[in-house]
Amino acid sequence: MPKETKPGWSDVTPKHLWLNRRALIAGAGALALGSPAAAKLTYSPGKFSTDETPNSFEDITTYNNFYEFGTGKEDPSTYASALTTDPWSIVIDGMVDRPGTYDLADILKDQPLEERIYRFRCVEAWSMVVPWIGFELSGLLNRVGVQPSAKYVAFETLVRPEEMIGQQSPILDWPYREGLRLDEAMHPLTILATGLYGEEMPKQNGAPIRLVVPWKYGFKSIKSIVKITLTDQQPQTTWNMLQPSEYGFYSNVNPTVDHPRWSQASERRIGAGLFAGRQDTLMFNGYEEQVAALYAGMDLKANY
Ligand SMILES: Nc1nc2c(c(=O)[nH]1)N[C@H]1C(S)=C(S)[C@@H](COP(=O)(O)O)O[C@H]1N2
Ligand SMILES: [Mo]
């Protein structure tokens, strides 16, 4: 779809952010994380992005799930400022040719940053549209060299209770853990996001780098990643460990498979207004055409 027919950035973006984003495209923006190369941003309208109107920066950064900072929707925006995100490194290990501890700047080197406007559907049945900035996870995995024996990718979030107030309580079994099958991880829709609205990732949204898998429930999109492991075993994942009957490993958005305690057939779009009503939830969150082949022949009710 040609760029002109979409609601443009300038229509939906507060002006200072729009200007900031233009500066970013020019190569002088906030994302210049140490290396000028990191500021390279490709704008690829339509290819992967939805033309739905993004939620406001305000909605996206004040209504969050990030239990490391508490269980309330406002806790992350209240407490995440305490998090130190520089320096940051990620351990990449397991079945890879080049395991190691990689500095964030090194990870970002040569990865083309792109804007991806994705629908985002939480398992709690609310949703948003988020203009992420990021790069395909496959780019990083290819760089470190995935060995043929690897079948899954496991991710872990930072553990630092001094800065992450929610980790001072055993709300979850820290670290927060997530995982993908290797083909899901290599899918072009799967990104590591380092920003949104053309700015560096806000801390409450998972700074400095988080996963975004738009066809799965939001809890798969793990924040503030410090470890990526290639493995031949299906990884243990936080919500599945806590309540396996409610949260499966796959957790693909599916309006025909209800959560044991609520329907998944519809969702509440944050910011839609008091009288908007609920909207239908789409199969694979609207990404069916791109991802259905990954699950050909699979019983999606059994593999929820
Ligand atoms: N480390 C970590 N990652 C996490 C979570 C969390 O509590 N801790 N919450 C998940 C859930 S349930 C959702 S819906 C999304 C929310 O992302 P957002 O706050 O950027 O909208 O992050 C996911 N990633
Ligand atoms: Mo969620």
Segment 184-199, tens digit of pLDDT? 999 999 999 999 999 9
Mean pLDDT of 158-183: 98
CA distance linking residue 76 with residue 61, whole number of Å = 9
How far, in Å, from the CA of 282 to the mean position of ligand 1?
20
Report the top-level CATH class of 9-295: alpha beta
CA distances from 82 to 55, 85, 160, 219, 221 (A): 25, 9, 11, 22, 22
Quickly state the pLDDT bin for 45 (edges 50, 70, 90): low
pLDDT of residue 108: 96
Predicted pLDDT at 33: 45
Note residues around ion ligand 2 (Cβ under 5 angstroms): 65, 122, 218-219
CB of 202 within 6 A of ligand 1: the answer is no
Pocket test for ligand 1, best of 58, 219, 251 (most atoms within 8 A of CB): 219
Task: Report the percent of the chain where pLDDT is more than 70.
Answer: 85
223 is in an annotated binding site: yes
pLDDT digits (tens, 9 = 90+) for 193-236: 999 999 999 999 999 999 999 999 999 999 999 999 999 999 99
- What's the rounded Cα separation, in Å, for the pair 79 and 165? 7
pLDDT, position 47? 77
Evaluate whether 182 touches 151 at the Cβ level (below 8 Å). yes
Does the pLDDT at position 49 exceed 90?
yes
Span 126-146, average pLDDT:
98
Ligand nearest to the CA of 60: 1
**Any atom of ligand 1 within 6 Å of the Cβ of 221:** yes
Q: What is the mean pLDDT of residues 132-157?
A: 98
Does ligand 1 lie within 6 Å of residue 219's CB atom? yes
Which tokens in the block code for residue 67?
Answer: 């239990």
The token pair that represents 239 in the structure block:
């919500």
pTM of the model: 0.89
Residue type, 14: P
Element (H, E) at 58: helix 57-62
pLDDT of residue 91: 98
Calculate how far, in angstroms, residue 37's C-alpha sits from the geometric centre of ligand 2. Answer: 33
